[in-house]
Structure 1
Amino acid sequence: MEGPFALTLRTGNADRLYCLNAEAERQGLHRGMSWSDARAFCPDLLSAPARPDLDARFLSALHRWATRYCPWVARDGEDALVLDVTGSTHLWGGEAAMLGDMRDRAARAGLTLRLGCGPTRTAAGAVARYGEGPDDDPRQLPVAALRPDPDIVVALQRSGLRTIADLAGTPRAPLARRFGPELLTRLDQALGHHPDPIAPEADPPRYGLRMSLPEPIGLVEDVMGVTARLLDPLCDRLKAHEMGARKLTLTLRRVDRGSQQVELRLAAPMRDAQRILPLFERGVGEVEAGFGIDQVRLEATLVEPLPVRQTGLSAARSAPDRLDDLITRIGTRIGLENVQRFLPADSHIPERAFVIAPAAFTAPGGGWSCPRPRPLRLFPPEPVAGSGSHPPARLRWRRMSLTTARATGPERIAPEWWLEDEGWRSGLRDYWKVDTREGRRLWLFHTPQDPGWFVQGEFA
């Protein structure tokens, strides 16, 4: 993008610059600067809200790409990676050739990298962030390249210590007393006098198992037996990481190299093999085995955290577990999205006091908070004959003649003016609970601005 541009992130109660392009930095702007001050310095500054979550996802993808150069790759802060290329540079023709290959491949993807090379991770990071080239001498960089606290940087600059070389030529005892030992440790790491190891990130666990069979199988009982043998160690691995499976994929490879998949979507995270195994029966029964199945693979393709919980004295399953199993069984037939539940909604309008959501992807909500009782059945308003502000003594509804025995109310409900609703354009409604002599318990409302009576619900 041409011209100054920056990403902003809300910190506290103010928007601050989170990331800038080169043109914005040339205008004197810097990261952490408030948005109002930045606009005062640079009126032409364009901005967009920052998304740190997307930055972290992109850095994870870049982490995987960097392992093509060496296996020891780790994150260095929120915006950088550090690689231990010891023993790997000769595969690329030297450090310069490796850095050049990184730069060229990133450029083809539309990325611009700031690269640095040094004896330690601190030195390489200082060169990448503050140097002009990847082979700059760390001693000539500013003291901010050591990344101490901003207050320490200001104090060092006021003392005349502006570069790492100035800091290295100063007696260490006064520096340690005034700024603490951490500054000297960072200095030694930048100069290569102190070890600065790189701890690569561990690969995320994979929840998948495979079994190759000496003889092809085709019976449902045999396939379920193999699935049970794979499911037990898979659930043990999930338990070790305190995770639960939400989606399981069973891949059955036939001897003719064709394969079929049985996908099981669970209503809640599970890692109990005895509960999961029967849920595969329907899908396995529909598999066409052909001349036989010689390989079975079971993988948890979607997992969620499932902490260990205290169990009761009874071995019987709890009611939520049985409900989750029921939802899963029904969901395998009609789809989990079609098994729905009612949830409370924050609205005083009767029609909007609830929402319908898939039961497998939502938690049960709390009870409805209503100062007055609500009918069990709710339907669109149906007009009835009547006049005045009190319920009529006799009314005819759905071809039934009813006589009012008791009326409780009114409860006035005003429309939500900020929402467009054709049904509530008439304005206020005064609701009454009417008990009839014939046994019907109706929910009537009266519209005072346009007099009329309507039935909208029926109590049990």
Structure 2
Amino acid sequence: MSGMFDGIQRRVVSLWFPRLASDRVLRQCPIEGPFALTLKQQNSNRIYCLNAAAEKQGLHQGMPYADARAFFPSLQSREAEIEKDQQFLRILCRWALRYCPWVGLEGKDGLVLDITGSAHLFGGEAPMLADMRTRLMRAGLSVQIGCANTRGAAWALAHHGEGIASSRDTLPALRALPVAALRIEDSMSITLQRLGLRSIGDLVGAARAPLTRRFGPGLLLRLDQALGAQPEEISPQTTPPHYAVRMTLPEPIGLLSDVMAGAERLLAQLCTKLKTHEVGARKLCLSLRRVDQGHQQVELRLVRPLRDPQRILPLFERGLAEIDAGFGIDQLRLEATLIDPLPVQQISHASDGGKGKLDDLISRIGTRIGLENIQRFLPADSHIPERSFIIAPAAYSEPASGWNLSNTRPILLFPSEPISGAGARPPAQFRWRRMALTTGRVTGPERIAPEWWLEDDNWRSGLRDYWRVETREGRRLWLFHTPQNPGWFVQGEFA
């Protein structure tokens, strides 16, 4: 967009990362030779992104993976992770704030920067772009950069030419670029080339009325936006809050008490930020950098969203006690890697803190054995004893008030075990688990019918009549009788 903004010519920089996905993976795990990421598209596994070595072998994006392996059998590959790629792009977006206060995302593999009034801080536009390129290449990222008065022109230069367009006239820098540089659809670009309009210069010299009738107003709108004849809205994308704090120490520390004191200061800062945005942390990661450049991490997962430093700090103690400080720790970094909404709630002097203490206890135990291994029973909508409950992780479920049953159930339930007996009432004497028992007091029966809409081999015998039997030997058992296929069974025991 050409024009003046407070007397200053607007200047826009476009950064395009043509191998963003593969560069991200190769930064973490370097691989020599051709490498490609694959993604299932159009009912087939296709190449999603590849490195320069793979491109030199004739492979290209969108190529079927089977054809690529047939063409180059030693090709190394992994599955693409688009979500992680977008997270990495957002990290680059924060990094680019070093050059200007306005940075936004440009599609799935690019950034756009409004450097108006900030280029002189780096000695001009050319030194600024050179610094960008050097730092990105040093980080292992391939990048193409374009700079112009408009967003469209900067995008065109980054994707099809690279370079810096003059602030006085944008057209000379765009004239030789292909029409695809105008951010139009591939089908429209192919049709224009068939008509002999292969470059932006050809399009500028063509009659506008026939082009509008043939392609609609969108083509000329993109052309005018690139040349600055039509304004194009440029607004920064809202950057999500980054919940991380860091502390660099003037002298290395190694004692557990000192590390806990540092963690306490970081927690206070982080929880203040969490409270401002009305969220709570579910997962925290404390990174410790040693003077020998070694890194260690302590991860803490919480049962419920939390932002109270006094409750979180003791949960870190066990993990920090196992840290090897080496020759000393000189930097601490605390990040909330998983957050959940936690709006401000009205509390009173009569509020019960018992639930919070239980959550803290589950978090403490979970740091040792894993939160998934701490489970609770929850009621299920079924009158069948075996199906009247479900088992769920305590960290990801809320306790229920209780089972809505008219009759009591045994505290211990197990698969039915047959015993000898005849008739519709519990036998006076029977043997169970090698014990001779004598019936004392009985209560019942409670008839339970099978759920006909569910398949269950254990209930194919039909109805069951349940009895509560108290034996003279002190056992309190839950027996049932099957009238349709006569037999007696024990299925549970009361406390």
* TM-score bucket (shorter structure): 0.5 to 0.7
Gap change, CA 1:322 and 1:201, over 3 Å in 2: same
Which stretch has the larger CA shift, 198-207 or 240-249? 198-207
Aligned residues: 350
* Paired letter, 1:325: D
Contact conserved, 2:379 with 2:388, CA < 8 A, in 1?
yes
Distance in 2, matches of 1:104 and 1:455, equals: 81
Deviations 1:289-331 (A, max 9, x none): 12211111111122111111111125x8611111111111111
Correspondence for 1:285 = 321
Distance in 1, matches of 2:386 and 2:160, equals: 59
Distance in 2, matches of 1:277 and 1:351, equals: 41
Gap change, CA 1:215 and 1:164, over 3 Å in 2: closer
Cα RMSD after superposing both structures: 4.5
Correspondence for 2:344 = 308
Does residue 357 in structure 1 map to residue 414 in structure 2?
A: no
SS at match of 1:245: strand
Does residue 432 in structure 1 map to residue 463 in structure 2?
A: no
Contact conserved, 2:282 with 2:306, CA < 8 A, in 1?
yes
- The Cα shift of 1:346 comes to 3.1
Gap change, CA 1:443 and 1:104, over 3 Å in 2: farther
Gap change, CA 1:75 and 1:442, over 3 Å in 2: farther
- The Cα shift of 1:433 comes to 2.8
Distance in 1, matches of 2:91 and 2:257, equals: 44
TM-score between the two structures when normalised by the length of structure 1: 0.62
Correspondence for 2:47 = none
Contact conserved, 1:247 with 1:265, CA < 8 A, in 2?
yes
Contact conserved, 1:389 with 1:448, CA < 8 A, in 2?
yes
Distance in 2, matches of 1:308 and 1:279, equals: 23
- The Cα shift of 1:345 comes to 2.4
SS at match of 1:92: strand
Gap change, CA 1:356 and 1:313, over 3 Å in 2: same
Contact conserved, 1:116 with 1:128, CA < 8 A, in 2?
no
The 5 Å alignment of 1:181-330 reads: 197-313=233-349, 318-330=353-365
* Paired letter, 1:327: I
Distance in 1, matches of 2:286 and 2:112, equals: 38
Distance in 1, matches of 2:251 and 2:408, equals: 66
SS at match of 2:443: strand
Aligned match for 1:391, one of 415, 419, 426: 426
Which stretch has the larger CA shift, 357-366 or 230-239? 357-366
Distance in 1, matches of 2:299 and 2:87, equals: 27
Distance in 2, matches of 1:397 and 1:353, equals: 25
SS at match of 2:316: helix
Correspondence for 1:332 = 367
Distance in 1, matches of 2:269 and 2:91, equals: 31
Distance in 1, matches of 2:265 and 2:460, equals: 63
* Paired letter, 1:424: W
Correspondence for 1:452 = 487
Distance in 2, matches of 1:281 and 1:164, equals: 65
- The Cα shift of 1:208 comes to 1.2
Distance in 1, matches of 2:322 and 2:82, equals: 42
Correspondence for 2:18 = none
Percentage identity across aligned positions?
Answer: 51
Which stretch has the larger CA shift, 351-360 or 425-434? 425-434
Contact conserved, 1:411 with 1:432, CA < 8 A, in 2?
no
SS at match of 1:231: helix
* Paired letter, 1:446: H
Distance in 2, matches of 1:331 and 1:63, equals: 33
Deviations 1:330-367 (A, max 9, x none): 11222222211112223332112222222112222342
Aligned match for 1:345, one of 380, 402, 408: 380
The 5 Å alignment of 1:45-60 reads: none
Distance in 2, matches of 1:414 and 1:346, equals: 14
Contact conserved, 1:72 with 1:198, CA < 8 A, in 2?
no
Distance in 2, matches of 1:104 and 1:391, equals: 91
Gap change, CA 1:448 and 1:103, over 3 Å in 2: farther
- The Cα shift of 1:64 comes to 4.6
- The Cα shift of 1:93 comes to 6.8
Deviations 1:163-212 (A, max 9, x none): 669xxxxxxxxxxxxxxxxxxxxxxx9x9999663322222211111111
Distance in 1, matches of 2:445 and 2:420, equals: 19
- The Cα shift of 1:440 comes to 4.0
Contact conserved, 2:429 with 2:436, CA < 8 A, in 1?
no
Does residue 92 in structure 1 map to residue 138 in structure 2?
A: no
Distance in 2, matches of 1:200 and 1:130, equals: 30
Distance in 2, matches of 1:83 and 1:340, equals: 48
Deviations 1:227-283 (A, max 9, x none): 111110100001111111111111121212212212111111110001111111111
* Paired letter, 1:291: F
Gap change, CA 1:317 and 1:274, over 3 Å in 2: farther
SS at match of 2:326: coil
Contact conserved, 2:379 with 2:389, CA < 8 A, in 1?
yes
TM-score between the two structures when normalised by the length of structure 2: 0.58
- The Cα shift of 1:379 comes to 1.6
Correspondence for 1:408 = 444
Distance in 2, matches of 1:61 and 1:217, equals: 33
Contact conserved, 1:74 with 1:198, CA < 8 A, in 2?
no
* Paired letter, 1:372: N
- The Cα shift of 1:102 comes to 3.8
SS at match of 2:382: coil
* Paired letter, 2:156: L
Distance in 2, matches of 1:100 and 1:194, equals: 18
* Paired letter, 2:296: Q
Gap change, CA 1:194 and 1:459, over 3 Å in 2: same
Unaligned runs of 5+ in 2: 1-40, 43-80, 117-124, 130-144, 163-178, 193-198, 219-224
Deviations 1:84-142 (A, max 9, x none): 8797999527656843754899xxxxxxxx9785xxxxxx8xx6699657978998658
Contact conserved, 1:74 with 1:82, CA < 8 A, in 2?
yes
The 5 Å alignment of 1:168-183 reads: none
Unaligned runs of 5+ in 1: 1-19, 22-54, 106-113, 118-123, 146-162, 166-188
* Paired letter, 2:288: L
- The Cα shift of 1:63 comes to 7.1
Distance in 2, matches of 1:233 and 1:388, equals: 73
Structure number with higher relative contact order (C-alpha < 8 Å, ≥ 6 residues apart): 2
- The Cα shift of 1:411 comes to 1.1
